[in-house]
Structures are given as C-alpha cells and as structure tokens.
Amino acid sequence: MLIISCHADTGFSSHALTHLPGGIVEGHLDNFSGVYSVMKAYFSGRLTADHLRIELTYGEEKGLIGAYELAKTIKPTDVVLVVDVTGTPTKKDIVVEKCKNPAMQSYLKTAFEELSYDLYANCPDPISDCDETDAYSPVTPYTCFLGIPCEGGDYNAGMVRCTLKTLDAVAEAICRLNAAFPQFCKDHNLPLR
C-alpha cells in the first residue's frame, strides 16, 4: 500500500495568504500548503488506483498524535510519504528528507525523472527535524518526507513564502510516485496492497 500522510491542522488561530508577483505566495503555510498539494494530486484524476491511501492527520502540533494513530494501521511493507513544509535551503522545487532506504531512493529517482528536487538521507531543516516520518519509520523502512520549500522565517511561528510552482511540483511528484508504485512493488517483492 502507498500511503500519503499529510497533517491538516495548523498551529495558528487565524490564517492569511497573499499572492505576490512572480508566482509567490506568502502566508501561514504549515500545513495548508501540504494539504493543497495533496488535494491537487487527488483531484487531478491521476490517483485512481486501489493501492493508494491518503490520510490527512491531526495533532501534528501536539506530539504527532494523528500520525501515531495512523502508524498503528501501517504494515512493514507499506510505503509512507509524508507531505509538509520544510525550511531546508534549496533552489529546487521539492526537498526529500529522511530517505535512508536505498530502495526508496531508487524509487524516487525513477519517479522524479525531470523534476527539480534535492534528496537527503537525513533532515537538514534548520527549523524542525521532527515530523510524521518519526512515527512511521519504526514500522516500515519505506518512508520519507516530501518537503515544500519555504523561506522567510519559522513556518511554525508565522508567515513564510513559497512558490505556486513548488506546490504544483509536489502534486506532480505524488502522481508520479503513485504511477511508479506497482513497478516498485514488483522490483522489491512487496505486496501492492
């Protein structure tokens, strides 16, 4: 099973979003930006496989409680992709973090051909290195973090910026990972569901 995990709660009591020149948006992006990218992929019509499960979790700001609940339903052969913002400095559209497993790295490299991304085995985000992958990685080695690059400060504390291009790139990445998933399972002797 391919599981997309994205926390849908925020740490803000009010929310704002401003469209700036050059396709830049500024606002309270943690984690409305992740939800937007996941839902853009969902409504694209390209995720019509029964090997896919999308989970919008809660409690990210309260000890990842939604992620830990979801972790109880995950099998060791499941693949879990966490979608959220990242403060990791980059010039790329996507930052993949906490991707230690060589099979996962190969899966992403194959699916992301021609996409603009950075790939890290660890988490170089200077703002936070704690996220939902911490709840899932003890259950399955097939997990990683798909980060939407943000600039302009602490995304947990206030308004930051990202580009509409990066939001679209993450949605595209999700669609490509879904399309490549059956072959990944075949290549690594994993069940599709």
CATH of the domain at 111: 3.40.630.10
- Separation CA 161–CA 20 (nearest Å): 9
- The string of pLDDT tens digits covering residues 43-72 is 999 998 899 999 999 998 888 999 999 999
Backbone dihedral angles phi then psi of residue 4, each to the nearest 5 degrees: -100, 120
- The string of pLDDT tens digits covering residues 117-164 is 999 999 999 999 999 999 999 999 999 999 999 999 999 899 999 999
Domain count, the chain: 1
- Separation CA 119–CA 121 (nearest Å): 7
Residue 68 in any domain: the answer is: yes
CB-based contact 170:150 (threshold 8 Å): no
Residue 158 in any domain: the answer is: yes
pLDDT, position 15: 85
Residue 149 in any domain: the answer is: yes
Helix 164-187 vs helix 102-111: crossing angle, to nearest 10: 120
Bridge pairing between strands 94-97 and 117-119: parallel
pLDDT, position 14: 82
CB-based contact 83:162 (threshold 8 Å): no
* pTM reported for the whole predicted model: 0.96
pLDDT, position 177: 98
Range of the domain at 16: 2-187
Amino acid identity of residue 83, one-letter, is: V
- The string of pLDDT tens digits covering residues 10-21 is 878 788 999 999
Nearest to 146 by CA among 108, 114, 113, 110: 108
